[in-house]
Structure 1
Amino acid sequence: MAGILEGRVAIVTGAGRGLGREHALELARQGAKVVVNDLGTTLGGAGDSVGPAQEVVDIIRRFGGEAVANGADIADFAQAEELVAQALEAFGRLDILVNNAGFVRDRMLVNAEEDEWDAVIRVHLKGHFAPLRHAAAYWRTEAKEGRMPVARVINTSSGAGLQGSVGQTAYSAAKGGIASMTLVAAHELARYGVTVNAIAPSARTRMTEGAFAEAMAAPETGFDRMDPANVSPIVAWLASADSEGVTGRVIEIEGGSVCVEEGWNHGAALDLGRRWEAAEVGPKLRELLAAGAVPEPVYGA
């Protein structure tokens, strides 16, 4: 039986291990031709090797799929452009971009170093922007030349970016930025036939096994809710033509559970029609806070 992505071409970043690996494999099983990108770094972002990406390519080819490996640093603007160009050269088109690559350097805020902050923000936030920017330019050109794309972008946010996570200031900030980027890109790219969504997955990967080892452990029997392969079928559907009209959404996924995040919405409000006096702010603002929803607790609090 043909898969839901027959004839489509996908780029998956950070696809050598963990969630990205499972996404690449699932997209290929569903019929997509896949550019498997992975820089091959350590958990903390050191080193590089095309080995992990090539291993995934070899698996895809063994079950009859089509894939090529790419070792680009997706946070390097020029290399991200070359990544998109490779998809076009290898397969003649690009329909799907799954932004997944990242690493962590967890610290409590008072212990965080500047280079750690810069590295995490770079790989997650710029590492989403750069491939998306070049893919979007291609889709805009296609649309202007009368070949309207049916293109899909799936970004990777996190519960850390939506609700916060103790000890992960940089990671949370980057993932929150990705959620906001998703909202804006969905609006801007709609005219070119592109939908843009984000997932917020909970799964056992290199990034979670240290901070949340007990929660992420595989059960001895029964359904393994933290298996990263659980996330990928939702990614495959979001990448399909069938997901038309679903855009600008953040979808949380854990095991067999999906949750559509509501994000920032205007809550209770009060307009005095004049400038506020500092002394009157407290009582009125507390009334508004009491009338609104109670924020969910930060992870790890």
Structure 2
Amino acid sequence: MDGHRLCDGRVVAVTGAGRGLGRAHALAFAAEGAHVVVNDLGVGLDGLPGADSPAVQVVEEIRAAGGAATAHGGDVATGEGAASLVRTALETYGRLDTLVNNAGFLRDRMLVNLAEDDWDAVIRVHLKGHFLPLRHAAAYWRTEAKAGRTPAARVVNTSSGAGLLGSVGQGNYSAAKAGILGLTLVAAAELERYGVQVNAIAPAARTRMTETVFAETMTAPEGPGGAFDAMAPENVSPLVVWLGSADSSGVTGRVFEVEGGRVTVMEGWRRGPGTDKGARWTVREVGQTVRELLPRAETPGAVHGT
């Protein structure tokens, strides 16, 4: 094993780490020397409990490769589940350095067919499931900072292109993922004083959630080693590991789109063209003004699925 790995000595908790992106992240952190708390509730794509959790299988993979990991089967969208995630890290390894919020599932419907339960379930797991682990981890880091042990703590949240641009048939998912972006910005601003950096990714990869979108493997020439699978979830993990390491010092409040071999810094909402009358507009005036401003503004990106 390399004695100079990027995350040697760090303790990392990854939610939804039994499959897909979360599993890839957990394995990648372990390969860089981290002790990993592998969280997975073991549910199906619709959020209902599965036969058994895959978290233990990921832990066994990590240990078989010489790494250190422990499983956590709690529901991180509950206060007790989120608190026990942090508690597991502290009781097992004595600390927590990085939180990767990744857990989620889909219940896709067009808006007119979207049931209230489907809205609530997706918002709960994605948005509340980000907030609660972040809240409990942040409370621990604040206590450490106030005791004079300011951490080099890191949080990596998981948004989506659906949160950045919207996605037809995914009103609940798009709203949750957009909410995660807002939460990321607020957390980065509030927690910086305690040594905590908070960033978000908007990944595109082939997982259980996206297998109908990326039904076929996209490949590109890689050289002597063979073809490059551009949709493999493992392509996303290097950025997540770097953001979760001490090496990313100074990077916070940012959103990164990552797909295949491409990484893009997203710039988010910025003020475009505007005008100030200095007094209240009439309805007709403001309508005419908007008509004049819009051609000077950048055209929004297309909503996914249009």
2:281 is matched with which residue: 259, 270, 276? Answer: 276
Tell me what 1:183 maps to: 185
Which amino acid in structure 2 is aligned with residue 158 of structure 1?
A: S
Tell me what 1:228 maps to: 233
Tell me what 2:217 maps to: 217
> What SS does structure 1 have at the residue aligned with 2:227?
coil
Distance 2:98 2:106 in 1: 25
Deviation at 1:46, TM superposition (A): 0.7
Which consecutive residues of structure 2, in runs of 5 or more, have no partner in the other structure? Answer: 221-225
TM-score normalised over the length of structure 2 = 0.96
Tell me what 1:289 maps to: 294
Tell me what 2:165 maps to: 163
1:150 is matched with which residue: 137, 149, 152? Answer: 152
Instruction: Confirm whether residue 262 of structure 1 aligns to residue 264 of structure 2.
Output: no
> What SS does structure 2 have at the residue aligned with 1:23?
helix
Identity of aligned residues (%): 63
Give CA-to-partner distance per residue, 1:104-129, whole Å, 9 cap, x none.
Answer: 00001111000000000000000000
Tell me what 1:59 maps to: 61
> What SS does structure 1 have at the residue aligned with 2:228?
coil
Give CA-to-partner distance per residue, 1:35-89, whole Å, 9 cap, x none.
Answer: 0000000011111465300000000001111100000101001111011011000
Deviation at 1:257, TM superposition (A): 0.2
Deviation at 1:213, TM superposition (A): 3.6
Which consecutive residues of structure 1, in runs of 5 or more, have no partner in the other structure? Answer: none
RMSD: 1.2
Runs of 4+ in structure 1 displaced over 2 angstroms?
Answer: 48-51, 216-221
> What SS does structure 1 have at the residue aligned with 2:280?
coil
Deviation at 1:266, TM superposition (A): 1.2
> What SS does structure 2 have at the residue aligned with 1:252?
strand
Which amino acid in structure 2 is aligned with residue 237 of structure 1?
A: W
Which amino acid in structure 1 is aligned with residue 134 of structure 2?
A: L
Which amino acid in structure 1 is aligned with residue 162 of structure 2?
A: A
Give CA-to-partner distance per residue, 1:252-279, whole Å, 9 cap, x none.
Answer: 0000000011111111111100001001
On the 8 A contact 1:38/1:50 being kept in 2, the answer is no
Tell me what 1:130 maps to: 132
Which amino acid in structure 1 is aligned with residue 29 of structure 2?
A: L
Distance 1:51 1:280 in 2: 60
On the 8 A contact 2:217/2:230 being kept in 1, the answer is no
Against the structure 1 CA distance between its residues 191 and 297, is the aligned structure 2 distance closer, same or farther, given a 3 Å change threshold?
same
> What SS does structure 2 have at the residue aligned with 1:183?
helix
Distance 2:203 2:180 in 1: 14
> What SS does structure 2 have at the residue aligned with 1:248?
coil
> What SS does structure 2 have at the residue aligned with 1:153?
strand
Which amino acid in structure 2 is aligned with residue 296 of structure 1?
A: G
Which amino acid in structure 2 is aligned with residue 45 of structure 1?
A: G
On the 8 A contact 2:158/2:180 being kept in 1, the answer is yes
Distance 2:270 2:187 in 1: 18
Size of the alignment, in residue pairs?
A: 299
> What SS does structure 2 have at the residue aligned with 1:51?
coil
Give CA-to-partner distance per residue, 1:19-47, whole Å, 9 cap, x none.
Answer: 00000000000000000000000011111
Q: Once structures 1 and 2 are overlaid, which stretch shifts more, 176-185 or 285-294?
A: 285-294
Distance 1:267 1:103 in 2: 35
Distance 1:37 1:153 in 2: 15
Deviation at 1:96, TM superposition (A): 0.2
1:22 is matched with which residue: 8, 21, 24? Answer: 24
Q: Once structures 1 and 2 are overlaid, which stretch shifts more, 179-188 or 277-286?
A: 277-286
Tell me what 1:240 maps to: 245
> What SS does structure 2 have at the residue aligned with 1:85?
helix
On the 8 A contact 2:43/2:53 being kept in 1, the answer is no
Deviation at 1:219, TM superposition (A): 4.2
On the 8 A contact 1:4/1:240 being kept in 2, the answer is yes
Which amino acid in structure 2 is aligned with residue 217 of structure 1?
A: T
Distance 2:265 2:182 in 1: 15
> What SS does structure 2 have at the residue aligned with 1:83?
helix
Which amino acid in structure 2 is aligned with residue 98 of structure 1?
A: V
Distance 1:261 1:219 in 2: 25
On the 8 A contact 1:150/1:194 being kept in 2, the answer is yes
Distance 1:259 1:227 in 2: 18
TM-score normalised over the length of structure 1 = 0.97
Q: Once structures 1 and 2 are overlaid, which stretch shifts more, 76-85 or 154-163?
A: 76-85
